[in-house]
Amino acid sequence: MRSDGTRVPVLIGYGLVGEAREESVAFILDLSEQKQAEQDREQLLTLLTLRNQELDRFTYVVSHDLKAPLRAIANLSQWIEDDLEGQLPEDNQRNMELLRSRVYRMEALISGLLEYSRVGRTEVASETININELLEEILDSLDPPATYTIEVQATMPTLTTKKLLLSQVFSNLISNAIKHSAREDGRIEITAITKGKYYEFSVSDNGGGIAPENHEKIFGIFQTLKGRDQKENTGIGLSIVKKIVEAEGGEIVLESELGQGATFRFTCPKGMMNDEL
C-alpha cells in the first residue's frame, strides 16, 4: 500500500537457490503498469463494442431511410408508365426505364456498402463444411444459364470455417463470371489444391478476360470495367470478396489476359478439421 492509501498490485515470489539450495531469495514485483495496461485494453474494447453497436444502428437507419424513397420512385415511375400505356413517346419510355435502372443501381450500391461495412465486424460461427455440398447450394441459387457448363472438382475438401463468409466469396466469384461473360457457351471451372496449411480454391471462366493493368483496380470499392447503368454492376462485389478473404487470413489473386478468360485464386486456412485432397 502506498503512503497515500492506494493499493499497489504486486507479484510476490520466493525460492531456494545455490547448489545445496540453502539460500533463499524473495522478490516483490510492482504490477501497476501491467494492470493499467489491462484496464486500458478493457476500456478500449468496451468503447469499440459501443461504436460497433452505434454503427450497426446507423447502417440500419441509413438502409431503411434511403431505400424506402428509392423504391417509391421506382414504383411511381412504373405506375406512370402503366397509366400512360401506349401514349408515351418512345424516347420518354426509354427515359423511364433509365430512371428505374439508376434507382435499382443506387439501391444495389446501398446494399453493397452495408454488406462491405459488416465484413470483419460481426461474429460469424464456424462450422464443418463439405465444399461440394456448399457449391451445389450456391449454383442452385444462382441458376446459371442452361447453355453454361460448370465443372466442380469431384473431391473438394471438408473444412471447419465460416460458412456464410465462404459462401459469399464463392457466390460473388461465380456470379461475376456469369455476369461478365458475353458467350452463350460459357464455361466455369471450380477446383481446389492443398498448399501447406491452406487450401487454394480457383474459379476460372472462358469469358473476355481482364487486362493486366486492371487486375488490382477491380478489387477496389466502386471499381468496375462495365457501364455504370447496369443494375447489378456496383463495383463492390470483388472488394467484398477481397476483404473477406484477407480478414480470414487468406489471399486472393487474379490471373487473366484479354480474350483468354480469367482465373481467381484465393486461399483459405484449413481450420480444425479437414480432408486432404
One digit per residue, the tens of pLDDT, for the chain of length 277 reads 677 777 888 888 878 877 777 788 888 888 888 888 888 888 888 887 787 777 777 777 767 777 788 888 888 888 988 888 878 888 888 888 888 888 887 777 777 777 777 776 667 788 899 999 999 999 998 888 888 999 999 999 998 888 888 998 999 999 988 887 777 888 999 999 999 999 999 999 998 888 888 888 888 877 666 655 554 566 778 888 998 999 889 999 999 988 888 999 999 988 644 555 6
**pLDDT given for residue 1 in this prediction:** 65
d(CA 257, CA 277): 29
With respect to residue 276, please indicate whether it lies within any of the assigned structural domains.
no
**In a shared domain, residues 200 and 243:** yes
The domain of 195 spans: 127-269
**134 and 262 part of one domain:** yes
CATH of the domain at 221: 3.30.565.10
11 lies in some domain: no
Cell of 3: 503512503
pLDDT of residue 151: 95
The predicted pLDDT at position 3 comes to 73
How far is the C-alpha of 11 from the C-alpha of 29, rounded, in Å? 5
Helix or strand (DSSP H, E) at 253: strand 252-256
**184 contacts: CB under 8 Å, gap ≥ 6:** 145, 147
| Residue 15 falls inside a structural domain | no
Domain identity same for 194 and 171? yes
Q: Given this model, what pLDDT does residue 231 score?
A: 44
Same domain assignment for residues 75 and 155:
no
**105 and 152 inside one domain:** no
Whole-number Å distance between alpha carbons of 245 and 169: 8
Tell me, yes or no, whether 150 and 255 share the same domain.
yes
**pLDDT recorded at residue 263:** 95
Measure Cα distances from 80 to 46, 107, 231, 238 in Å.
Answer: 52, 21, 21, 36
- Whether residues 103 and 173 fall in one domain: no
Q: Dihedral through CA 210, CA 214, CA 219, CA 225, nearest 10? A: -70
* Residue 253 and residue 139 share a domain: yes
Residue 162: inside a domain: yes
Contact 242, 184 (CB under 8 A): no
Which of 97, 118, 139 is the C-terminal boundary of a domain? 118
- Cα 192 to Cα 135: distance, rounded to the nearest angstrom: 12
* Residues 143 and 82 reside in one and the same domain: no
- Provide the number of structural domains found in the chain: 2
Q: Are residues 133 and 202 located together in one domain of the fold? A: yes
224 and 100 co-located in one domain: no
